[in-house]
Amino acid sequence: MKKQVIQFLKDNRERHLQELEDFLKIPSISALSEYHDDTVRAAEWVQQELGNIGFHEAKVMESDGKPVVYGEYIADGNAPTVLVYGHYDVQPVDPVHLWDSEPFEPTIRDNKIYARGATDDKGQVFMHLKVMEAVISQDEKPPVNFKVLIEGEEEIGSPNLPKFAEENADMLKADLVVVSDSALVEKGKPTITYGLRGLAGIQIDVKGANSDLHSGEYGGGVVNPIHALVKIVDSFRDENNRIQVKDFYRDIPELSQDERDALAQVPFNEDKLKSDLGVSDLDGEEGYSYVERTSVRPTLEVNGLYGGFQGEGIKTVLPNEATAKITCRLVPDQNPDHIVEQLTQHVYDNAPKGVEVEVKPFDKGKPYVTPFDHPVIQKAAQAYETVYQNDTAYIRGGGSIPIVAELDRILEVPVVLMGFGLPDENLHAPNEHFHLENFDQGMETLAHYFYLLGE
């Protein structure tokens, strides 16, 4: 049966691309309220598509934010159930003038499809739908049951989906969750993201006098909020780039040698990266490789810092306030609430006198990891390798998809992150695109995976 399924995908490629273009034409930008109706249209498009491909159930459901699309196709009560999670919303398109073709007029050039959402995540959601269509239409006894959960707020941090998933946990019950919203580490290299970093952040506001002061009259006498903030921020790390916040590393288990060995296999070209970024050196926490530092080690990065005069030339002002925005990427088993508490305490402990310091927390997300030797991960690798004819890279993503950890917590099943994008596909940037070779090979991989899960 698998053979017919794959043949069906090949035979229907042209139609599929036209349907994908229809999906990509909807400007379902979740961050901008003027596109609200378009996000609803995108949800309805997915619902209708679920009906078209033969799902028994397909509905647009209310949440506290954008609508959520849910559908299911239960073939056999004894077969394993796969829940596919994805999102129909996309990033804003500014600056529009840097796009070579209109962001919502999909265009194929050099076997790549250009459009906002092409790789993140409409293209990859669409692949799942088409593989399911192929399985349902070609196989009287599909190997797995399908459930589909497509949300419209991933690009704004999925603020409402955890509550939705908690309230609908029974409906969403499955044996595993599959998410295709990530990328291969490089062309032709199967890649499974078996962990994601969590997120915790704070804003530090330092206030001095009740107005800006003349630096000649008051300089040297009154505490400068920028100096105070710089002192606080500099206290976060030592000369080896180890974070100095108390108990910051407390809950992180030692990396196993197996895991370090696997990470050492991840393709990484330091010279190419330095040349791509235009930097002379890479640097970070001592004792860890670049790949480790950007995936399995926590970070503390200042995302923004500002105070005082920013115009051209000089203004001899002693500013009265300064602000820093800081986020940490967290790894298991760091707890975001604990980290925010420790960061906050660290700031107060290091605040110089003569200024008022306030700390505000930002939204948080838990780190996530599935053991990479778990059977559902190993079967995904097998499916990839059958199609791509290449070993799988097991990586832990440096970024955060907070909803992944939430789904893991609420549904208590493993989450498999098998993406088909590529690192240079400009997601969140102008000229987002998706390589059609991965559209084709990815669908074939998913077909193999569903059959492997059913064995």
Cβ burial, residue 407 (10 Å; 0-12/13-18/19+): buried
Output 299 or 345, the one with its CB closest to a second copy.
299
Residues 213-232 that bind a second copy (CB under 8 A): 213-224, 226-227, 230-231
3-class DSSP state of 177: strand
Nearest to 84 by CA among 119, 44, 124, 33: 124
CB of 449 to a second copy, least distance (A): 26
Report the distance separating Cα 330 and Cα 7, nearest Å. 43
Residues 185-204 that bind a second copy (CB under 8 A): 197, 199, 201, 203
> Which of the ranges 38-46, 49-57, 66-74, 349-357 carries the binding residues for a second copy, by CB under 8 A?
349-357
Residue found by looking up tokens 């139609």 in the block:
15
DSSP characters over 128-172: HHHHHHHHHHH-SS-SSEEEEEEES-GGGT-SSHHHHHHHTHHHH
Q: Which of 71, 398, 419, 442 binds a second copy (CB under 8 A)?
A: 398
User: Any idea what the Cα angle at residue 425 is, between residues 328 and 152, rounded to 5°?
Assistant: 65
Residues 356-375 that bind a second copy (CB under 8 A): 356, 362-363
Report the distance separating Cα 38 and Cα 25, nearest Å. 10
> How many whole angstroms from its chain centre is CA 221?
47
The yes or no reply on residue 163 touching a second copy (CB under 8 A) is no
CB of 184 to a second copy, least distance (A): 14
Q: Which of 36, 189, 325, 338 binds a second copy (CB under 8 A)?
A: 325
CB of 251 to a second copy, least distance (A): 17
- CB-facing half-sphere around the CA of 166: CA atoms within 13 A: 9
393 token code pair = 């890279």
Output 213 or 377, the one with its CB closest to a second copy.
213
> Which of the ranges 58-66, 87-95, 210-218, 384-392 carries the binding residues for a second copy, by CB under 8 A?
210-218
CB of 96 to a second copy, least distance (A): 17
Beta-bridged to residue 316, according to DSSP, are none
The yes or no reply on residue 309 touching a second copy (CB under 8 A) is yes
Q: Report in angstroms the alpha-carbon separations of 454 from 9, 145, 406, 448.
A: 20, 9, 26, 10
Q: Sheet of 321-330: strands edge to edge?
A: 321-330, 198-207, 356-361
Count of C-beta atoms within a 10 Å radius of residue 323 = 16
Nearest to 75 by CA among 59, 48, 61, 57: 57
CB of 201 to a second copy, least distance (A): 5
Residues 230-259 that bind a second copy (CB under 8 A): 230-231, 233-234, 237
Q: Which of 210, 240, 256, 257 binds a second copy (CB under 8 A)?
A: 210
Asked if 394 contacts 372 with a C-beta cutoff of 8 angstroms, the reply is: yes
The yes or no reply on residue 303 touching a second copy (CB under 8 A) is yes
For a second copy, how many residues bind (rule: CB under 8 A)? 75
Report the distance separating Cα 151 and Cα 403, nearest Å. 11
Residue found by looking up tokens 């197996």 in the block:
258
Output 127 or 233, the one with its CB closest to a second copy.
233
Output 101 or 323, the one with its CB closest to a second copy.
323
The yes or no reply on residue 430 touching a second copy (CB under 8 A) is no
The yes or no reply on residue 397 touching a second copy (CB under 8 A) is yes
Residues 39-58 that bind a second copy (CB under 8 A): none
Output 119 or 138, the one with its CB closest to a second copy.
119
CB of 427 to a second copy, least distance (A): 9
Q: Which of 65, 123, 208, 419 binds a second copy (CB under 8 A)?
A: 208
